[in-house]
Amino acid sequence: MAHTSDDNTRLSPWWRHSVILVMIAGFSVLSLVTVLTYTNAPPIPERAVDGSGAVVFTGAEIQAGQEVFFKYDLMEHGTLWGHGAYLGPDYSAEYLHRLCEITQNAIATEKFGKQFAQLSPDQQSIASARTITDLKGNRYDAASRTLLLTPGEVAAYHTELGEWSDYFTRKDAAPGLPANYIQDPQDLKDLTTYFAWAAWATTANRPGKDYSYTNNWPYEPMAGNRPSADAYLWSAMSLITLLGGLGLILFVVGKFDYLGWKSEGAETHFVHYDSPALKLTPSQWATGWFFAVVALLFLAQSSLGGLLAHYRVEPGAFYGLNIAHWLPYTLARTWHLQLAIFWVATSWVAGGLFLAAWVGGEEPKHQKAGAYVLLGALAVVVFGSLAGEAFGINDKLGKLWFWFGDQGSEYLDLGRFWQILLAAGLLFWLFLMFRALRPTFKNPEKRELSSLFLYTAVAIPVFYLPALFYGPQTNFAVIDNWRFWIIHLWVEGFFELFATVLVAIMFHQMGVVNTKSATRLIYLDAILYLAGGIIGTGHHWYFTGQGTLNMGLASCFSALEVVPLTLLTLDAWDFIRLRKAKCSECGQDMAWSQKWAIYFLMAVGVWNFVGAGIFGFLINLPIVSYFEVGTSLTANHAHAAMFGVFGMLALAVMVFCLRAMQSDETWKGTEKFVRFGFWGMNLGLVLMIVTDLFPGGVIQLWDSIANGYWHARRLTFIMGGAYHKLEWLRIVGDMVFLFAGALPVALGALRSIWKRDLPPQRHTD
């Protein structure tokens, strides 16, 4: 296979040293924040008592209530402390608001003998001030582990027991859930107790502080919950950090104009896929079936996305058909998120095996068999976990729900048994990668690039392990800490770094960049991504039981995450330039080889800047996140970044590999599907954002500021006014994405696998 002529000058070792130093510094700070989570987490009292000392509820009931919350997957319906799904309410904020109303009435009745609404303005001011004093006062005694409840809190608890039981049992009370979704009266009591504890943590001041365990989140003036001074201070400091980081990196890029997808002094020798010089190995051929799985899972996940969007305009039915009974919103959203992770990860895993075979140059014995074993293990995890989630949500697994059903943590829903199998599968994949790359470790010209390929692959199973560090009764603050080690560090950090290596090797194999340029770019991206991304993980924890140290660190370092995303606009231009580049030997341009893989990478560059950069930074400032977390602006960022970046990267890898399995003539029949689907997906995603997710998110943010967070999350707001009209309008973008994007790409992938015509040969370079 022809490659660019490599510049044999070695990179400075300080590239490698810089990555190591960034990782040591970043993980030292992040580990400190994680350790502090265990000590700063809101305490779970052993008992909560009224003024006479009678027990109202116990710590065991709080923990049992958390199990009910996870078992029935309520984090995929509403949110707790702002994290979860967006159809149901925020349970902690809703409980808190009712607590305020009931406490005000209890105080008004006690002091003035009237309901709060019947009081004069002066009397209402007195009752309101007393309510804030009662709720802000922390009456938890750490020595005896006893929480003393005020009369208002006791009255609210007994009232809300009936209200929440009604919510989860009465038909059409909980949007997207069937009647009697939770049937056991004890489960309903425990769940309400859990909500009571979660609401208490949002308003009771930390000992010695003037803000609550959740840093005064949610915004609830009736309880005295307003943004803390830290939220304002660190928002300003993060803006200063962003401007400083942008100025520095633009200076560096301007000084060293060889940074980016450029190859110093290289001539391009593109590979013609009909050429006998290109030989596929048996294991590369086997990866075609991985991409068949990718196509099917992608189509299923996109279809579920359309269903979920419809739940937000017609929460009890699908065009009149009652589907909540057999496919409740909780299960549909769980499958939607799990399938997204599965198909994206499958594409990258298959792309790793495919490219490792080319980089390694030799096919290890039984590598093809190993690939098929991995595919079988993947099928077991995917279909086993999806079935387990359905059984678990429907209470068919008894006490085994956590192991074989649905753990209930958003993005990490699959049961612990399936998680362990997934981790084992990733380790086996790592073993296959090592076998394929091992021949290059003795080759000075290939060693460093191959080592980076392997090291980033190692990070994937290693950084999935935090998913095993908690149980169903672990404090929610601690669970959310480890959850974002996975969501942010695993998915947005090391998976993205692995994807960068995949892209670098793809370009190297196409003859676009030389080894030195590819290696340097990997180091640069690692430094930029990890410098802000590791400590920046904490921007998810502003209001989930962490202290203000995390807010200060995370807000500033999270701002630095925008810096490399800004540079990705330059990547998009580099990809355009590479697509138009001419082969020095044949004079042809990129259009006849890997044109559409390049197009998908161009889309990655654009969506990374827009979705992760602009929309991500929009909601990362503490003062914005305070009012916004758990609203449509979060979904706006998630769709533009999750699919726009990781999805497009996965599709780029799939298109690259499938293109390499067929001749130019055969590819022409597939290319029309890929071309149509590419534009359909991007147009559909744009329409989703501009017709609903962004403007609807702004409307919901305004309502949160004007009327309180609880109000912006209630069903009455979601199903009314301009916000609801925009949700209906989104159907245009959903249909374009599904029928003009996902469907053609999936059909093109399946056709490509069926028609591929470059049979595998033993590779002996």
Average confidence (pLDDT) over 136-163? 97
Q: What is the pLDDT of residues 209-226, one digit of tens each?
A: 999 999 999 999 999 999
pLDDT at 9 over 70: no
pLDDT at 8 over 70: no
Q: Cα–Cα distances in Å, from 608 out to 140, 258, 355, 487, 611?
A: 45, 22, 24, 17, 5
Cross-strand partners of 141: 146
> How many Cβ atoms are within 10 Å of 137's Cβ, its own excluded?
13
pLDDT value of position 571: 60
What are the DSSP calls for 565-616, one per residue? HHHHHHHHHHHHHHHH-B-TTT--BGGGTTHHHHHHHHHHHHHIIIIIIIHH
pLDDT value of position 276: 39
- Buried b / exposed e over 70-105, threshold 16 CB at 10 Å, is bbbbbbbbbbbbbbbbbbbbbbbbbbbbbbbbbbbb
Residue that is written with structure tokens 């390929």 in the block: 453
Q: Is-contact 127 113, C-beta < 8 A?
A: no
pLDDT at 28 over 80: yes
pLDDT value of position 3: 44
Weakest-pLDDT range from 14-23, 424-433, 689-698: 14-23
Helix (H, G, I), strand (E, B) or coil at 84: strand
> How many Cβ atoms are within 10 Å of 54's Cβ, its own excluded?
9
Helical packing angle, 562-580 and 229-255, nearest 10°: 30
Q: Which amino acid is at 611?
A: G
Average confidence (pLDDT) over 60-64? 97
Token representation of residue 154: 């006791």
Average confidence (pLDDT) over 391-401? 94
**Over the chain, what is the mean pLDDT?**
89
Average confidence (pLDDT) over 680-695? 97
- Reported pTM: 0.92
Q: What is the pLDDT of residues 80-107, one digit of tens each?
A: 999 999 999 999 999 999 999 999 999 9
Q: What is the pLDDT of residues 410-429, one digit of tens each?
A: 999 999 999 999 999 999 99
Domain residue spans of the chain: 13-35+231-755, 46-226
Instruction: Please tell me the distance from the alpha carbon of residue 161 to that of residue 102, in angstroms, as a whole number.
Output: 13
pLDDT at 384 over 90: yes
Instruction: Please tell me the distance from the alpha carbon of residue 398 to that of residue 70, in angstroms, as a whole number.
Output: 13
Helices (H) and strands (E) in the chain, counts: 30, 8
> How many Cβ atoms are within 10 Å of 521's Cβ, its own excluded?
23
Helix (H, G, I), strand (E, B) or coil at 220: strand
Average confidence (pLDDT) over 618-638? 95
pLDDT value of position 526: 86
Neighbouring residues of 487: CB distance < 8 A, sequence distance ≥ 6: 411, 412, 540
pLDDT at 444 over 60: yes
Average confidence (pLDDT) over 554-580? 72
Instruction: Please tell me the distance from the alpha carbon of residue 375 to that of residue 324, in angstroms, as a whole number.
Output: 33
Average confidence (pLDDT) over 445-460? 88
Q: Cα–Cα distances in Å, from 489 out to 466, 532, 538?
A: 10, 11, 10
> How many Cβ atoms are within 10 Å of 257's Cβ, its own excluded?
8
Q: Is-contact 545 35, C-beta < 8 A?
A: no
Helical packing angle, 151-169 and 121-136, nearest 10°: 90
SS (H, E, C) 21-41: HHHHHHHHHHHHHHHHHHHHC
Weakest-pLDDT range from 203-217, 270-284, 545-559: 270-284
Instruction: Please tell me the distance from the alpha carbon of residue 505 to that of residue 515, in angstroms, as a whole number.
Output: 9
What percent of the residues of the chain are helix, what percent strand, and what percent coil, each to the nearest 5? 70, 5, 25
Closest CA to 623 of 200, 216, 42: 216
pLDDT value of position 706: 96
- Buried b / exposed e over 657-681, threshold 16 CB at 10 Å, is bbbbbbeeebbeebbebbbbbbbbb
Q: What is the pLDDT of residues 702-713, one digit of tens each?
A: 999 999 999 999
Token representation of residue 78: 């509403």
Instruction: Please tell me the distance from the alpha carbon of residue 411 to that of residue 337, in angstroms, as a whole number.
Output: 6
Closest CA to 419 of 474, 486, 331: 486
Query: Residues of the chain with pLDDT > 70: what percent?
Result: 90
Confidence of residue 15 (pLDDT cuts 50, 70, 90): confident
pLDDT value of position 500: 82
Average confidence (pLDDT) over 308-334? 88
Closest CA to 191 of 171, 170, 168, 220: 168
Average confidence (pLDDT) over 646-663? 92
Q: Cα–Cα distances in Å, from 133 out to 51, 220, 221, 543?
A: 16, 14, 12, 21
pLDDT at 267 over 70: no
Instruction: Please tell me the distance from the alpha carbon of residue 706 to that of residue 229, in angstroms, as a whole number.
Output: 20
Between residues 491 and 117, which one has the greater pLDDT? 117
CATH 3.40.50.300 for domain 13-35+231-755, yes or no, is no
Q: Is-contact 122 108, C-beta < 8 A?
A: no
Closest CA to 530 of 114, 96, 21, 4: 21
Q: Is-contact 98 143, C-beta < 8 A?
A: no
Q: Is-contact 181 79, C-beta < 8 A?
A: no
Average confidence (pLDDT) over 683-704? 97
pLDDT value of position 601: 86
Q: Is-contact 601 641, C-beta < 8 A?
A: no
pLDDT at 7 over 80: no
For 341, what's the count of Cα atoms within 13 Å in the CB-facing half-sphere?
A: 24
Q: What is the dihedral of CA 412, 414, 420, 423, to 10 degrees?
A: -60
Q: What is the dihedral of CA 629, 633, 639, 644, to 10 degrees?
A: -110
pLDDT value of position 361: 82
